[in-house]
Amino acid sequence: MLVALALSALILSAPPEAPPSPKAATQTMALEQRVEDIYAEMAKMQKEAKSDAPMTKEQVAALQAKAAELATKALESVDLSKLDAAGIEPATTLCRMAGAKKMAELSAALAAGAGRADGEGFAFAVAAVTTMPDGAPGSKESDAQSKATAALLGHPGLKQGFAGPSGRTFMMMLGECGESDLQPHAAQLKQLGDAFVPDAPSEVFGMCTEWVKAMGRAAPGAEAQAARMQVLAAVKERLAKTTDEKKQKSLKRMTALLDGAAMRGELLGRPVPAMEITWLGRTEGTPSWKTLADLKGKVVVLDFWATWCGPCVGSFPNVRTMRAKYSPEDVEIVGITSPQGYVAHKKRARADCKDDVAKEQAELANFMKDMEMTWTVAMTKEDVFNPDFAIRGIPFVAIIDADGNVARVGLHPSNEEEIQKTVDELVAKKKSGKKG
């Protein structure tokens, strides 16, 4: 998981106080150009295939083999031991394409660079963790990544590096760390709060909510709430001084998130936050309930989604299977969405519905039929990125017990084993008549 996160956000470069030398900058530009050239060659090969059908396994293997060949050639003249921080990203991309031998060389170079006690050393240390073997949550590989990420809080270049481009990658990685790994480093994590002053650079200030979430796991209780209030005050002060509408909107969302039940530590084990349901749909029959409170007595699976979200739609088979597995008397599955201004149909033309919620609801009903959605869908007044649940990405699954309390949050529909285990336990508890 850390590797996937880091690949999507790894924009490491030399820290501001140590700009790269002309020679280093030239090397970085050369590496970046080689990556672009390989991508262009891959696109050319796909175009020459002249087929709209999905690529076969053989075609994918051929592309990968060609990419490995080109990447290996591109790295022939590159001394990985002399990389600077700016060259890490393109070098990592090339090494991943080239294969295990080059990745081993890169890992050694990153480990050596990580020994520097400055911001650039921190950048190397962050990148080194992203090259560790990846694994599913709970695996040995995942546990090793979690411990290594938490250990970065003890790096001597932490504060200096955190203020640089590698800071955001690091915060994303912290989001995957287990509580037991973070808690020994709570004091070091707390020190990063000094960076979130109202006039901090946007690239730093934008990480404040992720820092609060990490504090909630590293030091739950009074310390975490003090961190939340510290950041909330800074966000409000920054908002009061901001005139740009786009920035105002972002800061208002941050305020709502920090004021939400999850950030207050009042979500898990508490009654599900109220949501104003403006529309309920089902492909067969009409829901007899109007609010989530009406569903007490059932285990409820909430799947936050949107029609434009590829991973959400891609997980429909998982949700469909879950709906077929459980009796509607025991389990209710509700897809939670909110007005988006359009419906991104998959089997018909996109429907623009700006300022016409009634049309969007009708189009959503068509979408449900087209996509064979066998569960209930609810449109809420609250945004699908619901701040009470601290939702930053969808799909996002929350599970509510039969007493109406939040039992689990932050699951993905594809995590069938974990969802099923939780639902089975809650259904069994409901049938046994146990409380809490």
DSSP one-letter string for 255-313: HHHHHSTTTTT-SBTSBPPP--EEEEE-SSS--S--SGGGGTTSEEEEEE--TT-HHHH
Confidence at 10, pLDDT banded by 50, 70, 90: very low
Structure tokens at 214: 């990490």
pLDDT, tens digit, for every residue of 293-337? Answer: 999 999 999 999 999 999 999 999 999 999 999 999 999 999 999
Confidence at 165, pLDDT banded by 50, 70, 90: confident
Give the residue ranges of DSSP H helices in 114-191: 119-130, 140-151, 158-162, 166-174, 179-182, 186-191
CA 47/CA 41 separation, integer angstroms: 10
**pLDDT exceeds 60 at position 289:** yes
| Torsional sign, CA 350, 351, 352, 354 | negative
Structure tokens at 250: 């972002």
Please tell me the predicted confidence (pLDDT) of residue 52: 62
Cα-Cα-Cα-Cα dihedral of 412, 414, 418, 421, to 10°?
120
Please tell me the predicted confidence (pLDDT) of residue 264: 93
**pLDDT exceeds 60 at position 20:** no
Cα-Cα-Cα-Cα dihedral of 118, 121, 125, 131, to 10°?
160
pLDDT, tens digit, for every residue of 82-105? Answer: 888 889 999 999 999 999 999 999
Domain positions in the chain? 2-259, 277-432
Q: In the 8-state DSSP scheme, what is residue 340?
A: -
**pLDDT exceeds 50 at position 15:** no
The CA distances from residue 119 to 18, 113, 116, 284, in Å, are 9, 11, 8, 58
Please tell me the predicted confidence (pLDDT) of residue 296: 95
Structure tokens at 72: 């290996």
Neighbours of 140 (CB within 10 A): 9
Of the candidates 222, 249, 219, 224, which has an alpha carbon nearest to the alpha carbon of residue 235?
249
Please tell me the predicted confidence (pLDDT) of residue 26: 74
Q: Which fold has domain 277-432?
A: Glutaredoxin (3.40.30)
pLDDT, tens digit, for every residue of 103-152? Answer: 999 999 999 999 999 999 999 999 999 999 888 777 899 999 999 999 99
Structure tokens at 217: 């796991």
Confidence at 14, pLDDT banded by 50, 70, 90: very low
Max Cα-Cα span within the chain: 72
Mean pLDDT of the chain: 90
